[in-house]
Structure 1
Amino acid sequence: MKLLITGGCGYVGTVLTEQLLKDGHTITVVDTQWFGNHLQPHPQLTILKQDTRDVNSIPLDGVDTVIHLANIANDPGVEMNPTLSWEVNVLATQQLADRAVRAGVKQFIFASSGSVYGVKDDPQVTEDLELVPITAYNKTKMVAERVLLSYADKMRIHCVRPATVCGWSPRMRLDVSVNMLTMQALKNGKMTVFGGDQTRPNIHIGDMVNVYRHFLAHPEIDNGCYNAGFENISIMDIAQRVAAKVPADIVVSASNDPRSYRQNSDKLLATGFKQQYSVAQAIEDVSAKFKSGELVDKDEYYTVRWMKHLNLQA
């Protein structure tokens, strides 16, 4: 199958692209490469260093499926430059979808976010709950979903709402909870937990990759939005799980981040998807890469820190 992956040099995109090449697909990756390019050369891989906002330069001829991962990631990153974020996360998404339809693309898989729900007291956050996004990032994802679903009569639209992803990637991120706390424990012998009572859903990067592979293999799945998160645990619980594998002290500080919700992924599981990985495995994977010397603490592994370095703030 011929695929276009935007953001294919990113944290999830790098692991996904490598796996889909092993699956036998022909892939074109479009990525600004702000955070580098860790993909290995492959005869069935074309990598284009370009911005998705330059939508007319994105090659779509003969593409069967678009997997759209490219975005300005996470709340602090979006707050640094809201205009850039709306242009990338929403406007470029709409223009890419419109061009995809005109080019005869059959399926469009979109990386949304589980954070579109906002703060929820519901014991299980399912896809039919009202979306109440509380940050600019959440809002860009919600609007992008609505825009994409308006094309559902012209191509298959699958919007994936991932939980917080964790685990090792050649293009690492150390500003997500499991990875960040594990690195703190490994490097400093202590972890700083802000608040700690907030419950967040998590997903291992291996499962995240398999979710996209699942929709790619089953385009007949109903159009719509699907949660992808399997371990709803508190930030304190994450720290304690890390400490059980990497002995370290836990320091608790006050938090101004109220987000707390439990993601329910029964809708995804009902399509035949099966979870294979865990937070515990992510901690072990990150620890092993650190101990082998393959993982070091770099500024480019932190979205906001590196965006400032690139002078991308408003």
Structure 2
Amino acid sequence: MRVFVTGHLGYIGSVLVPLLQGRGHEVTGCDIGYYEECRLDGTPFDIVFLRKDIRALTAQDLADMDAVIHLAALSNDPLGDLNPSLTEDINFKGTAHLAVCAKNAGVKRFVFSSSQSMYGISESVEELDEDKSSKHPLTAYADTKWRAEEAIRALASDDFIVTVLRPSTVFGVSPYLRSDIVLNSLTGSAYTAGVIEIKSDGTPWRPVLHVQDAAMAFMLALEAPADIVQKQAFHVGYPHGNYTVREIAEAVQKAVPKSKVTYTGEHGSDARTYKISFKKFYNAFGDRFAPQWTMQKGAEELVSFFGRIGFTEDDFRGRRTNRLLQIKHLLDTKRVNAQLEWI
């Protein structure tokens, strides 16, 4: 297939592109380039790509494409809260605009990267279900992801197959590594400072997923029979893939044996706790999805990667691996305007 990947210079996109190419797909990338200078490893892709804002895409940009995998977004709660109206503009309106352009261009498939944060604070120990569990988004990021799902599903037709994936919090090595997500953050801190600092009491639940397994899930959703994925949302994670923050910290400590785990408790038990059900995903893809990673292997992989590239505390705490800091840098240096458009 001819596949148009937005956010191909992002954390997941930069892992997904070579996977798609290895499967024989012809990939065109699209990225606005906010994080282009944040690459930590490897060489740039040898693919055709547009350096363009998703808000400015047209149907002509998508001519002759068979599918779109839409990853581009303001990618977490802190970024979303930086300017909620801008998050609305990019994550909701931009996604809806892209889907309309894709349908008008004759694109047959649209795979959207959404979020598990749309459920809000979970008041139950039961695992959350894609379709039955109530949605209570508490942040601009979560709200725009949920409403974007609804908008693009409304466009689905026999000629336009719409699929939504809600990945667990991703971890692991990528050319465009992020240190602002839980397992990567704890491993980065352990490696560069010798401390694994837990601001809660360690009891909150967090589902996690390796970036390569996440990329595989997107490819499988792209290739799946239409009757399995049409207008469906899937949580993506591991069987029994919900872990406490304490369990994540223990995996990191095994990978960095000299590191010390500290519990500051400043967030108490932390209301941001949730357990996710992955039954629907495995019912649909279990015969094709074979996870290659565990939390422990991923932490060890990160430590090896850090050693190979000479990863420092400045790298860990700086803008190259922190998306919010990079956006603030672009704003402060007046390289982008208040609407995050290049100047």
- Distance in 2, matches of 1:303 and 1:277, equals 25
Instruction: Establish whether residue 4 from structure 1 lines up as the match of residue 4 from structure 2.
Output: yes
Amino acid at match of 1:285: E
Aligned to 1:267: 280
Name the SS of the counterpart of 2:12 in structure 1: helix
Instruction: Establish whether residue 21 from structure 1 lines up as the match of residue 41 from structure 2.
Output: no
TM-score normalised to structure 2 length: 0.87
Q: Which moved more, 1:277-286 or 1:157-166?
A: 277-286
Tell me which of 289, 292, 308 is aligned to 2:305.
289
Amino acid at match of 1:197: T
- Distance in 1, matches of 2:59 and 2:109, equals 20
Q: For the Cα contact (< 8 Å) 1:30–1:58, is it kept in 2?
A: no
Instruction: Establish whether residue 95 from structure 1 lines up as the match of residue 97 from structure 2.
Output: yes
Change (3 A) 1:29 1:146: same
Aligned to 2:214: 208
Change (3 A) 1:161 1:202: same
**Which runs of 5 or more residues in structure 1 are unaligned?**
none
Tell me which of 290, 304, 312 is aligned to 2:324.
304
Q: What is the 5 A alignment of 1:123-162?
A: 123-128=126-131, 129-153=133-157, 154-162=159-167
Q: Deviations over 1:28-73 (max 9, x none)?
A: 111011111656342xx21211111112286111111100000001
Amino acid at match of 2:177: M
Aligned to 1:242: 252
* Structure 1 position 294, deviation (Å): 5.5
Q: How many residues align?
A: 312
CA RMSD of aligned residues (A): 1.7
TM-score normalised to structure 1 length: 0.95
Instruction: Establish whether residue 40 from structure 1 lines up as the match of residue 44 from structure 2.
Output: yes
Tell me which of 114, 117, 120 is aligned to 1:115.
117
* Structure 1 position 172, deviation (Å): 0.5
Q: What is the 5 A alignment of 1:72-83?
A: 72-83=74-85
* Structure 1 position 176, deviation (Å): 0.5
Name the SS of the counterpart of 2:162 in structure 1: strand
Instruction: Establish whether residue 279 from structure 1 lines up as the match of residue 295 from structure 2.
Output: yes
Q: For the Cα contact (< 8 Å) 2:59–2:102, is it kept in 1?
A: no
Aligned to 1:229: 237
- Distance in 2, matches of 1:58 and 1:143, equals 26
Tell me which of 188, 198, 216 is aligned to 1:193.
198
- Distance in 2, matches of 1:283 and 1:274, equals 19
Name the SS of the counterpart of 1:299 in structure 2: coil
Q: Deviations over 1:223-258 (max 9, x none)?
A: 211001222111122111111220211122212752
* Structure 1 position 222, deviation (Å): 3.0
Percent identity reads: 31
Tell me which of 257, 260, 267 is aligned to 1:255.
267
**Which runs of 5 or more residues in structure 2 are unaligned?**
none
- Distance in 2, matches of 1:175 and 1:243, equals 18
Amino acid at match of 2:229: D
Q: Which moved more, 1:269-278 or 1:156-165?
A: 269-278
Name the SS of the counterpart of 1:281 in structure 2: helix
* Structure 1 position 287, deviation (Å): 0.5
Aligned to 2:88: 86
Name the SS of the counterpart of 2:272 in structure 1: coil
Amino acid at match of 2:182: S
- Distance in 2, matches of 1:292 and 1:269, equals 35
- Distance in 2, matches of 1:148 and 1:122, equals 31
